[in-house]
Amino acid sequence: MNIHFKTAFDYIKRTPFQALAATFVLAITFFVVSMLTVLVYSSGQLLGHFETRPQVIAFLKDEATPEQISALQTRLSGDSRVKNVNYVTKEQALSIYKEATADNPLLSELVSPSIFPASIEFSLSDLSFAETVIDETKKEAIVDSVGFTANLGSENSLGDVVTRLRQLTFYIRVGGGALALILAGTSFLVLVVIIGMRMTTRRGEVEILDLIGATPGFIRSPIIIEAALYALVGVFIGWLITLLLVLYATPSLVSYFGEIPILPKTTGGILGMFGIMLAAEIFVGLALALLGSMLAVSRVRAR
């Protein structure tokens, strides 16, 4: 075994509780980071779903001509605030209605296409544009009425919907990010303290190595390897717990969220996502270990 790895393993064996403390803190950090990553991904998917589904439906008057409809479609498609513009004919509307009432055929038998208005559905690039766009659309001569479909629960007004979505986004992305940073900072400090203690107990050894011509890199190597081992084990434990939790919860989540793809649909997709996450976390973990050990070594050597 390489002398640096052997030295690092010897240190770990000699102080198992320090090693456990470092690994445990890193495992908690990367568990939270992994959970937050999944949450950010899922919330992104959730918001994406709400943003891309038809949020505004402009019901058209019966007398609207194809040219007028086409002109309105073109105008909306050219509007940067609007996306996914889709024209729904009376027949398509009936078909959608029949599909929605498939479990009660009597309801669909009683209606004809003529009672359903044609409509233009579209979503918004940002929900804050909703009120303006709806007001503008209402003023169109061929538009009879405008409906707004985005609704997350108990909100009564458009303002409530926008506020709720913004709050969700803020809490998950910024709050989660801040929590991850605090935990990463704590892990960093724990690493610095533990490696600093290690360097202090190794002071005599460092002096001897220095006198026999060891380079600073040679002296630092076991320390950096030790910190990297803590980081790798911590990352793997945190990541593995998250993966197991997600795999365990996936059936319930899929059943609860239905058509909303908050997680990749296949096991391969989930494993792919977690593979990328593991690679990124290993990178971050190793960076923490490297920086922490370098800082600890330079502080102790400077004393």
Partner 1 sequence: MIKLVTVTKRFGEVNALEDISFEVEEGEFVFVTGPSGAGKTTLLKLLLREYLPNKGQIFFDKVDITQLRDKEIPSFRQKIGVVFQDYKLLPERTVRENVEVPLAVIKVPQTEWGARVDTILNLVGLSKKAEMFPSQLAGGELQRVSLARALVVNPKLVMADEPTGNLDWDTAETIVELFEKINKEGKTVIMATHNRAIVDKLKKRVIELKDGKIVKGKNKEETK
Binding site for partner 1 (CB under 8 A): 2-3, 10, 14, 205, 207-209, 211-216, 218
CB closer to partner 1, 3 vs 102:
3
CB closer to partner 1, 11 vs 239:
11
Q: Report, in Å, the least distance between residue 1 CB and partner 1.
A: 9
The number of helix segments (H) and strand segments (E) in the chain equals 11, 4
- Name the residue with tokens 């029949």: 98
Q: Report, in Å, the least distance between residue 203 CB and partner 1.
A: 12
CB closer to partner 1, 131 vs 210:
210
- The token duo for 28 is 């908690």
Distance CA 166, CA 283 (A): 31
Q: Report, in Å, the least distance between residue 49 CB and partner 1.
A: 58
- The token duo for 34 is 């992994």
Query: Hey, how many other C-beta atoms are within 10 angstroms of the C-beta on 198?
Result: 23
CB closer to partner 1, 136 vs 205:
205
Q: Residue 291's closest CA among 189, 205, 214?
A: 189
Q: Report, in Å, the least distance between residue 187 CB and partner 1.
A: 28
Q: Report, in Å, the least distance between residue 196 CB and partner 1.
A: 19
The alpha carbon torsion through 79, 83, 89, 95 (nearest 10 deg) reads -170
Query: Hey, how many other C-beta atoms are within 10 angstroms of the C-beta on 127?
Result: 22
- The token duo for 178 is 């801040």
Please state the length of the chain. 303
Q: Report, in Å, the least distance between residue 202 CB and partner 1.
A: 10
CB closer to partner 1, 212 vs 302:
212
CB closer to partner 1, 6 vs 265:
6
Distance CA 299, CA 37 (A): 34
